[in-house]
Chain A
Amino acid sequence: MKLRSMIWKELWQRPTPMLTSLLAVTLGVTAMVAIQNITVFSERKIAGDMESLGANVLVLPPEVTLQDYYSADMHGHTMPEEYVSRLALARMPGVENLAPKLCIESDVDSIPVTVTGVLPQSEFQAKSAWQGLGLISPVGTDRGCCATKANVSAGEDNPNSLATNRTIQDLGDRDLILGHDLAAQLGAKVGDKLPVLGESFSVLTVLPSTGTIDDSRMFAHLHSVQDLSGAGPVVNVIEIMACCEDAAGDLISNLSSELPETRVITIAQVVETQVAVNGLMSRLSWVFLSILLLVGGASIASVMYANVTERRNEIGTLMALGASRRFVTRMFLGKAVLLGLAGGLGGFFVGTIVAAVLGPQLLGIYVEPLPQLLVVGMVAATIVAVTASYLPARRAAGLDPCLVFNDA
């Protein structure tokens, strides 16, 4: 027989009060784990959503104001395309992708269309000056913070990526990409030839419906649009796909410093609100944890005091038989450690299950167990249980062993 086997056996002699007091500790850890779990995966989902949404920062000519996110490039003002190079060379952390655009009003078979010039990613990689600097991936480098890196890698050959990522890997001089609605309006399909800006373009692909103004646009190579429209090396907007945390932080001021002659606008409220909500949820989870652990601690202390009173004769007997005060203290604190570990472990499992069930229902996110929360939960619950049991354990160790005698 050892101390720990003795503690374990005694625990199961009076399980009800201990398990009841453990409930509050378990609930505290459950709340913390569930909320933290949902928060972490919610942040990941928001980051993913922002990336699939496309640009979340716009670099515009200074005269322009952001009236509408998706039509912000239809303002007629331009700025030099050279700004794109400056941004790419700056390699700012958080900048995951750049998408310069030039929009020109034109018509195809008497149907008015907006021709949007876009710069394929292959153009970035082809810039000899950037390669000379060793910048094979000029944007979206390993210094970025997003879970998903820049869209310049394999898998982006599909022209449909323009619909979701706002960028495309390759686009020929006379290739054309049609928005879903415009293709239907023109009756055009892949491989058709269309006269645009006085030249014949081949339809490379028709984008899936996005529910945005892009559905009614056609996209061609930026330099083709610049040449054919006579606009020269200018763009209306540079869309930047940035990490949401950076977009809400220093990135905007960094961009403004880099390009002081432009206006840099972010979907700040969206980003800040999302980040703020996540931060609030995270802080709330710690508040819940603290409150419930306090309640749990008080409950454990109360039950431990009752346990000491109930076991006075047993403790006195052990002391008469040679148990030191340290042994008696360890007997109660050991029990507290077991309770804390059990509460932390139980809370982690229940919290993870709650998050797995509620995440998809409430926020449409799928969560996975986060092992670091298991450590946090078990440590917090154990500290609370041990702290709450300290005074009862001291009281037990201070009992007068004479109480074991008949008329004591």
Chain B
Amino acid sequence: MYQLQSVTQTYERRGNVVTALDTCDLEIPDGDFVAIVGPSGSGKTTLLSVLGGMMAPTSGDVLLDGESLYDLSIDQRTRLRGEKIGFVFQSFNLVTWMSACENVQIPLMLSGKLASDQRARALELLDRVGLSDRADHLPSELSQGQQQRVALARTLANDPQVILADEPTGNLDADTRQQVMSYLAEFHNDGRTIVMVTHDADTAAFAKRTIRLVSGVTDEVAMADAA
């Protein structure tokens, strides 16, 4: 379970202090599916970075399963991220010179799995997203939707408990968006917690909860409003 306790994040830009998160208190229980919505610059990506253990807040605590993320060292946070958190990016962020299978193998390699086990697991995950026949294709040889499915397979590599998705459908057409969200919903049904940043109301509708972020302040949106 995630707990944000009075988390504030400020930046200094050209002498001005910008508040990206303003005394946020938030709880995200295990197995939740949360959509973070809000206008550009409202602090959505900052919230995702803080949740991912990649940006220490100016003040406040971020707890994951009762453990304060930012009391850990950088290397401990990195290890925890590799074990418990998976990421989905808007631009897929596949390594362009690696095949689909090798891209899925990356988290497995980083967690120290044997090379033979890595490939078997990667092929299993590619099969789950319907791309077992494209395992040795480079990202440039795949469509946008296929690339995002490879990225989804990569996200599942180490069987993370939490998936943080940054505009996962932002670069996709309507049909592909539907397909990708179906996979995310499937992952959620497996029992994973999903926190998703999105601009798109249709995409947000897949979530159980929607949190609106305006000027760094979180606000739970009632389901009727979100719809």
Contacts and interface: CB of A to CB of B under 8 A. Distances in A.
Interface of A: 1-3, 6, 9-10, 13, 313-314, 316-327, 400-402, 404-408
Contacts of A326: 75
Contacts of B105: 1
Given A321-B154, A327-B110, 12 more contacts: A313-B93, A314-B93, A314-B96, A316-B93, A322-B81, A322-B83, A325-B78, A326-B75, A400-B55, A401-B52, A401-B54, A405-B89
A321 B90 contact: no
B97 A406 contact: no
Interface of B: 40-41, 45, 48-49, 52, 54-55, 74-75, 78-79, 81-83, 87, 89-91, 93, 95-98, 102, 105-107, 109-111, 115, 118-119, 154, 158, 166-167, 170, 197
A324 B95 CA distance: 17
A319 B80 CA distance: 12
B115 A2 contact: yes
B45 A406 contact: yes
Given A1-B102, A313-B93, A320 B74 contact: no
Given A2-B115, A324-B79, A404 B93 contact: yes
A326 B95 CA distance: 19
Nearest to A323: B110
A10 B40 CA distance: 35
Given A318-B106, A320-B52, A325-B75, A408 B89 contact: no
25 contacts: A1-B105, A1-B106, A1-B109, A1-B118, A9-B97, A9-B98, A314-B93, A317-B93, A319-B54, A320-B87, A320-B93, A321-B81, A321-B87, A322-B79, A322-B81, A322-B83, A323-B78, A323-B110, A402-B49, A404-B89, A405-B48, A405-B89, A406-B90, A406-B170, A407-B45
A406 B91 contact: yes
Nearest to A320: B87
A324 B53 CA distance: 13
A325 to B, nearest CB: 7
A74 B119 CA distance: 90
Given A2-B109, A9-B98, A317-B93, A408 B45 contact: yes
Nearest to B109: A1
A207 B41 CA distance: 101
Nearest to B93: A317
B90 A408 contact: no
Contacts of B102: 1
Nearest to A311: B95
Contact of A317 (B41, B55, B81, B89): B89
A351 B155 CA distance: 50
A400 B89 CA distance: 16
Contacts of A316: 93
A10 B97 CA distance: 7
Given A313-B93, A317-B95, A406-B90, A322 B111 contact: yes
Contacts, number: 88
Nearest to A408: B45
Nearest to B46: A402
B149 to A, nearest CB: 17
B154 to A, nearest CB: 7
Contacts of A325: 74-75, 78
A321 B154 CA distance: 9
A314 B118 CA distance: 20
A325 B81 CA distance: 13
A320 B95 contact: no
A327 B107 CA distance: 12
Contacts of A321: 81-82, 87, 106-107, 110, 154
Contacts of B154: 321
Contacts of A402: 45, 49, 54-55
Contacts of A1: 102, 105-106, 109, 115, 118-119
B54 A400 contact: yes
Given A1-B118, A408-B49, A318 B40 contact: no
Nearest to B50: A402
- A2, A320, A323: which has the most chain B beta carbons within 10 Å? A320
A319 B89 CA distance: 14
Residue among B74, B89, B105 with the most chain A CB within 10 A?
B89
A318 B110 contact: yes
Given A321-B110, A400-B54, A406 B95 contact: no
Contact of B166 (A10, A313, A405): A405
A372 B49 CA distance: 53
A406 B49 contact: no
> Would you list the 10 A-B pairs with minimal beta carbon distance, nearest first?
A322-B82, A13-B97, A317-B93, A322-B110, A402-B49, A406-B90, A405-B45, A401-B54, A1-B105, A321-B107
A408 B87 CA distance: 15
B120 to A, nearest CB: 12
A316 B45 CA distance: 15
B160 to A, nearest CB: 10
Contacts of B40: 407
A397 B109 CA distance: 18
B101 to A, nearest CB: 9
A1 B83 CA distance: 18
A3 B98 CA distance: 13
A319 B78 CA distance: 7
Nearest to A401: B54
Contacts of B109: 1-3, 6
Contacts of B111: 322
B167 A406 contact: yes
A193 to B, nearest CB: 90
Contacts of B87: 320-321, 404
A327 B87 CA distance: 19
